[in-house]
Amino acid sequence: MDDGQAIGSGRTWFLAGMRGIFSLPALMLMLSFVGFCAFTAQAGIPVEQTVFMVGAVWALPAKVILVSSMLSGANLLAAFIAVTLSSIRLMPMVAALVPEIRTGKTPTWLLLFLSHFVAITAWVFAMERVRTVPREHRVTFFAGFGITLVVANMLLVAAVYQYVTEFPPIVAGCLFFLTPVYFLASIWSSARHPVIYLALISGLVAGPFFYWLAPEFDILLAGVGGGTLAWLTERQWRKRGEGRHGSV
Amino acid sequence: MAVFEGWWPYVFIAIAGWLATDLWRWLGVLAGNRLRDDSEVLNWVRAVATALVAAVIAKLILYPTGVLEHSPLWLRLGSIAAGVTAFFIGRQKPAVGIATAIAVLAIGLYALGF
């Protein structure tokens, strides 16, 4: 069959994914990682462990919680539970991404392996860009982007570690603030479904509300509660719209 | 600090960091594999995933760590408001909103003597 062609174009799409390292999302994330690096350096975590953490955990909020647990001398089980609870969001994120990128022939082991490279930035980037990629090359495209992004940030952290503690406070503060600002702008501008706008707004409101109500489970409750509310509202609007069209 | 020496920190990171996050990613693959990309369940999953990320965003803005922990809340919210305004005026270009928010924050931090 056209195996040779498929391999060739596969490489092309892997490289196209790799080029995503020069995109705004990747740049924002790398700046955020410089900020995270400053956080670990100030906390006294050695550079080798910081680099290992970047590759092994990858999701930035999970790493912040892990470092906080290590600093407070939490035992392994307590740290495991804290990080596990904070990372539940990865499941719906991956579950929403998988139907967008797989084909009937995509092996599950490959998706399990590639899921490691999902964190907020890669997810936002992939959900935004994959629609421009032919379906049979989406997994390859994501692999190219995800793997490159992780390796680049491991190298970046190793390179800047010894300099970050000397950053002026304004630079450190702005680096930290880039993450939420970038997430907000990119989720809004890349939304393809009306439900995304509603979910974004309801999550922003529900987050602080549940932090006040039940701080240990705030993110989880805000996600399930805010997300379900957004979904119900959007479905109601959609049904009303369909009802109007149907009656004509 | 003793806790950061030897092989123990790597085991700690592998279990409390790696396993604790990949667990959910693997479950996500298994769940996502059963969803059709036009199903109502996927619509709900999308909404929940987005709201979860939004809650993380709100927490980073309202309860930051590091330098920003000591910055006033009105400055952080003001920077976001300026960024959102610029974002919509600038035809929803992310770079416009991001640059505006960060510039307002930087000016504010400078004015406050950070």
pLDDT tens digits along A157-185 = 999 998 887 888 898 888 888 878 988 88
- Residue B99 belongs to some domain of the structure: yes
- Over the Cα atoms of chain A, what is R_g? 20
CB-nearest to B13 from A24, A52, A211 is: A52
Kindly state the tokens that stand for A213: 């109500």
Distance in Å, alpha carbon of A3 to nearest chain B alpha carbon: 26
Give the residue-averaged pLDDT of A103-129. Answer: 92
The residues, ordered by sequence, that sit 6+ positions from A85 with a Cβ below 8 Å of its Cβ are A216, A217, A219, A220
- Residue B82 belongs to some domain of the structure: yes
Chain B residues within 8 A of A28 when measuring between CB atoms: 98
- Residue B21 belongs to some domain of the structure: no
- Residue B3 belongs to some domain of the structure: no
The identity of residue B22, as a single letter, is: D
pLDDT band at B3 (very low <50, low <70, confident <90, very high): low
pLDDT band at A55 (very low <50, low <70, confident <90, very high): very high
Q: What is the model's pLDDT at position A244?
A: 67
How many inter-chain contacts (A to B, CB under 8 Å) are there? 322
A142-146, B10-14, B64-68, B86-90: least confidently modelled range: B64-68
Closest chain B residue to the Cα of A195, Cα to Cα: B47
A172 close to A38: Cβ distance less than 8 angstroms: yes
- More confident: B22 or A67: B22
The closest alpha carbon to B99, from A116, A185, A137, A39, belongs to: A185
CA A242/CA A245 separation, integer angstroms: 5
**pLDDT tens per residue across span B30-45:** 999 988 877 888 889 8
- More confident: B1 or A77: A77
What is the extent of the structural domain holding B96? Answer: 66-114
Q: What is the model's pLDDT at position A4?
A: 44
Tally of domains within chain B: 1
CB-nearest to B17 from A56, A205, A227 is: A56
Give the residue-averaged pLDDT of A47-59. Answer: 94
- More confident: A202 or A172: A202
Distance (Å) of CA A122 to CA A18, A217, A230: 12, 24, 23
Asked whether the predicted pLDDT for residue A150 surpasses 90, the reply is: yes
Asked whether the predicted pLDDT for residue A2 surpasses 70, the reply is: no
pLDDT band at B105 (very low <50, low <70, confident <90, very high): very high
The identity of residue A242, as a single letter, is: E
pLDDT band at B96 (very low <50, low <70, confident <90, very high): very high
Asked if B53's CB is within 8 angstroms of A198's CB, the reply is no
- Label residue B51 exposed, middle or buried (CB < 10 Å: 0-12, 13-18, 19+): buried
CB-nearest to B16 from A83, A123, A179 is: A83
**pLDDT tens per residue across span A33-49:** 888 888 788 778 899 99
Asked if A193's CB is within 8 angstroms of B43's CB, the reply is yes
- Residue B41 belongs to some domain of the structure: no
The closest alpha carbon to A178, from A19, A27, A22, belongs to: A27
Asked if B25's CB is within 8 angstroms of A116's CB, the reply is yes
Kindly state the tokens that stand for B100: 């505006």
- Residue B87 belongs to some domain of the structure: yes
Kindly state the tokens that stand for A43: 């906390």
CA A20/CA A14 separation, integer angstroms: 10
Asked whether the predicted pLDDT for residue A245 surpasses 80, the reply is: no
Chain A residues within 8 A of B88 when measuring between CB atoms: none
- Residue B2 belongs to some domain of the structure: no
- Residue B9 belongs to some domain of the structure: no
Give the residue-averaged pLDDT of A177-199. Answer: 86
Asked whether the predicted pLDDT for residue A5 surpasses 70, the reply is: no
Average pLDDT, chain A: 87
Kindly state the tokens that stand for A148: 């490159």
Chain B residues within 8 A of A176 when measuring between CB atoms: 60, 64-68
A123 close to A25: Cβ distance less than 8 angstroms: no
CB-nearest to B59 from A87, A176, A207 is: A207
Asked whether the predicted pLDDT for residue A133 surpasses 90, the reply is: yes
Distance (Å) of CA A132 to CA A19, A25, A113, A138: 14, 17, 23, 9
CA A106/CA A143 separation, integer angstroms: 13
